Amino acid sequence: MLIDLTSHLTRSTFAIRRQPQIAPPVRILHVDDEPDIRELVELSLGLEPDLVTRSCGSGKEALAVAAEWKPNLILLDLIMPGMGGVGTLARLRIREDSRTPVVFMTGLRRADEPEYFRFLGAAGVIFKPFEPAALAASVREFLHL
């Protein structure tokens, strides 16, 4: 003898457990010709579990990495030998995937900041020297997290 239990089952009988949505890591490409600065940025941002940092030592290298890795944000040194930050940004903007926010990192201070850097096409600027403990918060402001 079979008993029909379907009439006694309700939606709450078998609660569906959903796994929490885990956001993918935020990819930060950092471009600076100074190895010490690259290391400091990697250490500072590496303390945040949702931020993944990749570093480049030149604008030319950054163009290749950005095309392949598709970062969510690019931290770009303004003054570098060879292709500087402005030239690198111009070449990034020529590409189809050019909407990646770019934030200049520089020790150069101008009276008309941050309009000058936005005029160049950047989302903003983080001035060197920066506070390592506050770098992740500064980066998040440009990501609108």
pLDDT tens-digit readout, 49-67: 999 999 999 999 999 999 9
Q: pLDDT per residue over 81-120, tens digit each?
A: 999 999 999 999 888 656 899 999 998 877 566 788 888 8
Task: List the structure tokens of 144.
Answer: 């609108």
Q: Where are any strands of DSSP class E within 1-145?
A: 26-31, 51-56, 73-77, 102-106, 124-127
pLDDT for 20 equals 67
User: If DSSP codes are grouped into helix, strand and coil, which group holds residue 103?
Assistant: strand
Domains in the chain and their CATH numbers?
25-143 (3.40.50.2300)
8 Å CB contact between 103 and 126: yes
Please give the model's pTM, rounded to 2 decimal places. Answer: 0.81
CA distance 92 to 122: 11
CA atoms within 13 A on the CB side of 96: 2
